[in-house]
């Protein structure tokens, strides 16, 4: 006989079911932990993507500000705070730093206010690799505008050694960031200004100068044409500066377009030379100009004709009705 066992026999499948249940519960527990960890990772990634997207949108809005005509001279710091508020303004700091590092953003101070101006990608590529000294030289030249800056003034404002300054200027010229310009007042010296600027008239001499030389021939041709207009238009009874200016444009007598003020300057030279004179005004109040009349004819009197019997000078009356006082200086004009 087999010895009896104290162990109670379990129904079939009960033990295995409990074991399976334990394993199953263990499996579910591990699986749940992994799912929670994955969910957290997904949530973190989503937040990062959302934050990146928000920064990109903020960057686009910030850059778009500079295309607004109201900010053509730059966007002030106070304008940024008013636009974005204190919270979002702080989020602009990394954007501003990034654009500055890539030379896409310039900062300048006007009074106590800080201004930002956007630089195009093309111009930014020209600044790549420039050190602080080169940027300082560029800013000094930029501040001078279309009047340009002498190399002596750049040296004074930057305190950069002359030899180093010469190299920096050469680099900036090579990158087409600045250009040398000669002045009519100092033809042997060079001014420096930004590459895309047009020199001021004070530098080039304006319309009346060609290659830094006063163009006498050009001015003489224009004066001759104006005299033809004064004599022939309206049968010489009087023309205005505006009418002559319009006629000059129609006839295309000037190689450059002359302003109303420049035509007036030409007519003033004719008036000073006693070739034209003003003869009243038209209904609009504009001055009318006619060919100048001769002041007098050649004097036919002898020296004794101007003396009284007591040897004092007397007044002389001319044929055109003009009376010359004995103490009035007399100028003959041909």
Tens of pLDDT, residues 149-167: 999 999 999 999 999 999 9
pLDDT average, residue stretch 290-313? 68
Strand order in the sheet with 186-194: 149-150, 186-194, 178-183
pLDDT average, residue stretch 248-253? 92
Angle value at C-alpha 223, between 219 and 229, nearest 5 degrees = 145
Q: Is 74 helix (H, G, I), strand (E, B) or coil?
A: coil
CB 156 within 8 A of CB 193: no
Half-sphere exposure of residue 87: CA atoms within 13 angstroms, side-chain side: 0
pLDDT average, residue stretch 168-176? 93
Written as six digits, the tokens of 69 are 């005509």
Q: Which of 56-70, 126-140, 265-279, 289-303 has the lowest mean pLDDT?
A: 289-303
pLDDT at position 2 over 70: no
Residue 108 pLDDT: 77
Calculate helix-pair angle for 14-64, 77-101, nearest 10 degrees: 110
Residue 307 pLDDT: 67
What is the tens place of the pLDDT at every residue in 273-293? 989 999 889 988 999 999 998
Residue 35 pLDDT: 57
pLDDT-derived band at 320 (thresholds 50, 70, 90) equals low
pLDDT at position 248 over 90: yes
Residue 131 pLDDT: 86
pLDDT at position 146 over 80: yes
Which of 184, 223, 191 lies closest to 206 in space, CA to CA? Answer: 184
Residue 77 pLDDT: 86
Share of the chain above pLDDT 90, in %: 34
Q: How many residues does the chain have?
A: 334
The pLDDT mean for the chain works out to: 80
pLDDT-derived band at 5 (thresholds 50, 70, 90) equals very low
CB 160 within 8 A of CB 135: no
Q: What is the distance of C-alpha 155 from the center of its chain? A: 24
CA distance 66 to 10: 84
Question: Which pTM value belongs to this model?
Answer: 0.53
What is the tens place of the pLDDT at every residue in 255-268? 888 999 999 999 99
Residue 132 pLDDT: 83
pLDDT at position 50 over 90: no
What is the tens place of the pLDDT at every residue in 184-234? 888 888 899 999 999 998 898 888 888 888 899 999 999 999 999 999 999
């Amino acid at each position: 006989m087999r010895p009896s066992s104290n162990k109670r026999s379990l129904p079939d499948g009960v033990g295995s079911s409990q074991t399976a249940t334990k394993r199953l519960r263990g499996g579910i527990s591990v699986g749940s932990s992994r799912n929670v960890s994955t969910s957290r990772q997904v949530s973190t990634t989503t937040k990062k993507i959302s934050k990146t997207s928000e920064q990109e949108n903020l960057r686009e809005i910030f850059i778009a500000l500079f295309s607004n005509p109201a900010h053509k001279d730059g966007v002030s710091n106070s304008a940024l705070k008013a636009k974005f508020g204190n919270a979002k303004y702080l989020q602009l700091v990394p954007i501003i730093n990034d654009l500055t590092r890539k030379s896409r953003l310039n900062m300048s101070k006007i009074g106590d206010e800080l201004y930002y101006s956007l630089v195009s990608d093309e111009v930014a590529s020209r600044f790549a690799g420039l050190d602080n000294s080169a940027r300082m030289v560029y800013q000094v030249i930029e501040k001078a505008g279309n009047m340009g800056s002498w190399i002596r003034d750049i040296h004074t404002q930057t305190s950069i050694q002359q030899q180093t300054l010469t190299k920096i200027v050469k680099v900036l010229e090579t990158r087409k960031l600045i250009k040398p310009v000669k002045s009519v007042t100092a033809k042997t010296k060079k001014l420096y200004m930004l590459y895309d600027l047009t020199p001021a008239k004070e530098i080039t001499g304006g319309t009346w100068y060609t290659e830094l030389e006063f163009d006498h021939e050009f001015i003489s041709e224009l004066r001759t044409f104006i005299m033809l207009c004064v004599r022939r238009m309206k049968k010489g009874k009087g023309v205005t500066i505006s009418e002559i200016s319009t006629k000059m444009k129609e006839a295309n007598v000037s190689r450059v377009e002359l302003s109303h003020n420049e035509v007036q300057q030409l007519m003033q030279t004719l008036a000073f030379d006693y070739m034209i004179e003003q003869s009243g005004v038209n209904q609009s109040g504009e001055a009318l100009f006619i060919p100048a009349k001769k002041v007098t004819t050649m004097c036919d009197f002898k020296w004794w004709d101007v003396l009284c019997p007591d040897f004092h000078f007397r007044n002389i009356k001319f044929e055109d009705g003009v009376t010359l006082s004995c103490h009035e200086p007399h100028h003959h004009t041909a």
